[in-house]
Structure 1
Amino acid sequence: MILITHEESLAISHFDTGFKRRSDEIPEYHESARAKRVVLAYLIANNNLDNYIMDNVQWMYESLSTAQDTCTLVVYYKPYASNKYLDTAEILEFQTDGYGKINGQEILKGTSLTKENIIAQAKHHQALLGIATNPSIMKENLRMMQDIAPAQSYGLIFGSHASGWLPSPNAANTRSFGWDGIQSNTIDIPELASTLEQSFPSGNLEFTLFDACMMGTAEVFYELRNATHYCVASVMETPVAGFPYDRFFINLYDDSIDYAEICNETAQYNRENNWWGTYAAVDCTAMGNMAQAIQTELTSHQSELQTIDYTQVQQYGYGDYKNFSFDVIDFISQLNGGNIPASIQSSIDQAVIAKDCLDRKEYPLMTLKIDPDRFCGMGMYLPGKNINYTWDRYCQSSIAWYNAAGWNELQP
């Protein structure tokens, strides 16, 4: 039986806007000693992913418990109304001493390792209540999380529903990242990038990992180029179970993170469960060079652009999202008669530092099949090909990649 995706599960979910408040007082946040790196997790689970995202917290805890040094995890968690362990949005703090304790208590193991006990062992801090995707709410909660655990650098995990850079089918705004409650409150990618830049003004956000669908596109990576150094994401819809944090989470505290391990372990986890998946780690600071290389190719191949059959290019969307993103290298290769220009190859090698995917024959997402030989690690929309009028308008008006990559310079 195939596990449903984050996005497909929306169709069968039923949301409840009500939630209970905690009757006991939540301790105020405090400052701890400055660490070299702290991992933050911003988890918007006020939707039908709540049980899966709660599993993710347990996996993070399991990996954190193996630390041989002091490591801190700070989690913003917005629960669904039926969550058994949290009544409202809270910030949870976990700090290991490297000697078998977390928050001064013995590490939970065996039958004691339950979600209930993990949440009970956390240090609870009152989060700023409100829509989790609202930029001002997100900024304040990220500020409090950094106050709780000051560090030289941070890693940030985002967990929720997402649909990449795409605009909402029913509104002018996008449904890019996040799904907070029945109103389907989201934050678009330009707003998210601005929020992160303001939340980490020192430029010390080392990586952002999107445990969410369809975020692995040039449009997203370029938008985040001034917000985060590295970004880990999938260009496809992702299985609801999320990343297998128990396999690699503790290594996110390393001075030099092995991003290939993250991609490989996640692909292997999906393989073991007969799912699907593409994963890549991208150096967002290299996206400027990537955009310039793409612009050169588009400008010099305008005639080929008029006749290219985009249905023959590897694409990554399924169902309503079909053709939202095409493989960058496969597209450029077809523009060049099967050849890849050196400038393009150099720019993608600089940008994509790790990648892995599952073979199309054994692990398809329904009818969507991915060819590993045509997967470069990054997707890109093709505006102006009559794929979707709303997508074209939004891409042209709101997504920085559109101008940076030279789509605006092409002759109509």
Structure 2
Amino acid sequence: MKVIRSIFVILPLALLLGSCIAEDYEGPDSNLPTRTIIVYLGGDNNLSDETERKIEALRQGWTYTGNKCLIYEDSRDGARLLRLRGGCRVTPTPYVETVREYGAENSASAETFARVLREVADEYPADSYGLIFFSHASGWLPAGTLQKPGIQPFSIGVDDRDAERAEMEIADFAAAVPDGMFDFILFETCLTAGVEVAWELREKTGYMLASSAEIVSPGFTPVYPSALPLLCDTAVDTQTALEAFGRAYMDYVTANYTGARRSATLSLIDMREISPLAVRMQAALRNHSAGVPDLSRLQFFDRPGSYGDYPALPRFFDLDDWAETIAAPEEYAAFRSQLSRAVVWKAATGTFMSGQNGFTIRRHSGLTTYIEQDAFPELNEAYRQSAWYRAIRGGDR
């Protein structure tokens, strides 16, 4: 690993005066709690080109108020740690500084992910931390379960550098994060607003902002220039800031896209409410028969058959729709009340990927769930090993 200090854009004024670079920013916000945001761009795959565009969008949105933003980028050219600088009175134009060059490494490794978190926390300490995570994802699904021909599937993060694709499963992702480290985790990834994911991360972060369906490219890139400051502003409570970020994205999608591109789901989860939700789900399941359910009328959020998957059946169902189907009325009412406390904000377009094996969104509770099906015996077995399954079936809570 080579430690360097280089600046992408040479700014003589910053070099001469550099008061904000020297970390002695003085202004109206200087007494606020500090925050370090970590942006983890796992783009050593077919998303490599997107990482550069996201870095530029983040640069445009950077304003220095005593906080810090570190960007780990893994692309076809190798991995590096970057920092957003400038954006202050002395150096108004933000720029990107290279802090470290790592060379070729596996960004979909839990060990790499954990190392990056440790390095940033040790070298850029703050009162609070936020994480933006970008890569491929398929929620809680274990490696090898989408069965895409010629390409192994993914869970949270993908690295294609070696001949065999590397993936990071959600349990390993969660284990890499120290308990209570983050005020929020923002997932710019597909199919991540699953209750199984939320359960794994319930002790790692205060809030999770994620999508029940896929995130259509270019994702959050168009709103980073205007919405990144929302995530940095510690004068605003975290929930309010994340809601505002989510609205900015949804407003952009609905105002600027048509047809299949006008497709988005987003929800904000209060992780303190996930454990009580498991208790309510356990009660909802208490009188449910073990027979194979009729899933044909349930809302789902994936596009079966679009990933080379076979059999082409849904795997990400709306949690509220499922609970209402299986629970007695009084149990469902208690579940629904708790769900409203867990999902504090949500939004969705009316359709998703219309004309491209898409679907109508008639119901969007903000959390999805897997439901066992006879067509997926191996996936069913993997699901029974998940922490969420054990929680709702009477195991750990």
User: Shared fold by TM > 0.5?
Assistant: yes
**Length, aligned pairs only:** 353
Say whether 1:350 aligns with 2:341: yes
| Alpha carbons 1:128, 1:137 under 8 Å: kept | no
Q: Answer with 129-138 or 179-188: which moved more.
A: 129-138
The 1-side partners of 2:169 and 2:299 are apart by: 25
Of 72, 93, 96, the residue aligned with 1:107 is: 93
Q: Answer with 346-355 or 312-321: which moved more.
A: 312-321
Residue in 1 that maps onto 2:281: 294
CA pair 355-136 structure 1, distance change in 2 beyond 3 A: same
Residue in 1 that maps onto 2:9: none
The 1-side partners of 2:165 and 2:22 are apart by: 34
Of 181, 184, 187, the residue aligned with 2:160 is: 181
TM-score, with length taken from structure 2: 0.80
Of 53, 65, 68, the residue aligned with 1:72 is: 68
Provide runs of 4+ in structure 1 moved above 4 Å. Answer: 30-35, 170-174, 336-340
SS of match in other structure, 1:310: coil
Say whether 1:252 aligns with 2:231: yes
Of 323, 326, 342, the residue aligned with 1:335 is: 326
SS of match in other structure, 1:313: coil
CA pair 206-55 structure 1, distance change in 2 beyond 3 A: same
CA pair 408-148 structure 1, distance change in 2 beyond 3 A: closer
Of 369, 372, 388, the residue aligned with 1:380 is: 369
* Pairs within 5 Å for 1:125-136: 125-127=100-102, 130-136=105-111
CA pair 324-335 structure 1, distance change in 2 beyond 3 A: same
CA pair 309-288 structure 1, distance change in 2 beyond 3 A: same
CA pair 370-249 structure 1, distance change in 2 beyond 3 A: farther
SS of match in other structure, 1:76: strand
TM-score, with length taken from structure 1: 0.77
The 2-side partners of 1:364 and 1:254 are apart by: 37
Residue in 1 that maps onto 2:294: 309
Q: Answer with 123-132 or 269-278: which moved more.
A: 123-132
The 2-side partners of 1:158 and 1:273 are apart by: 24
The 2-side partners of 1:225 and 1:365 are apart by: 36
Residue in 2 that maps onto 1:4: none
| Alpha carbons 2:211, 2:266 under 8 Å: kept | yes
* Pairs within 5 Å for 1:148-187: 148-169=123-144, 175-182=154-161, 183-187=164-168
Residue in 1 that maps onto 2:83: 93
| 2:301 counterpart letter in structure 1 | Y
Q: CA deviation at 1:359?
A: 0.4
CA pair 220-174 structure 1, distance change in 2 beyond 3 A: farther
| Alpha carbons 1:32, 1:148 under 8 Å: kept | no
The 1-side partners of 2:355 and 2:384 are apart by: 29
SS of match in other structure, 1:248: helix
Say whether 1:389 aligns with 2:377: yes
Say whether 1:56 aligns with 2:57: no
Residue in 1 that maps onto 2:359: 369
Residue in 1 that maps onto 2:4: 26
Could you tell me which runs of 5 or more consecutive residues in structure 2 were left unpaired when the two chains were aligned. Answer: 7-20, 25-31
SS of match in other structure, 2:85: strand
| 1:326 counterpart letter in structure 2 | F
CA pair 100-313 structure 1, distance change in 2 beyond 3 A: farther
Could you tell me which runs of 5 or more consecutive residues in structure 1 were left unpaired when the two chains were aligned. Answer: 1-20, 82-87, 109-117
| Alpha carbons 2:140, 2:192 under 8 Å: kept | yes
Residue in 2 that maps onto 1:41: 39
| 1:379 counterpart letter in structure 2 | T
CA pair 324-32 structure 1, distance change in 2 beyond 3 A: farther
The 2-side partners of 1:132 and 1:370 are apart by: 35
Residue in 1 that maps onto 2:13: none
| Alpha carbons 1:91, 1:145 under 8 Å: kept | no
| Alpha carbons 2:140, 2:196 under 8 Å: kept | yes
The 1-side partners of 2:196 and 2:98 are apart by: 37
The 1-side partners of 2:22 and 2:167 are apart by: 30
Of 146, 162, 183, the residue aligned with 1:206 is: 183
Residue in 1 that maps onto 2:251: 268
**1:326-370 per-position Cα deviation (integer Å, ceiling 9, x unaligned):** 11111122335888832112211111111110002x863723324
| Alpha carbons 1:282, 1:351 under 8 Å: kept | yes
CA pair 139-31 structure 1, distance change in 2 beyond 3 A: farther
| 1:61 counterpart letter in structure 2 | R
| Alpha carbons 1:70, 1:96 under 8 Å: kept | no
The 2-side partners of 1:314 and 1:206 are apart by: 31
The 2-side partners of 1:308 and 1:56 are apart by: 42
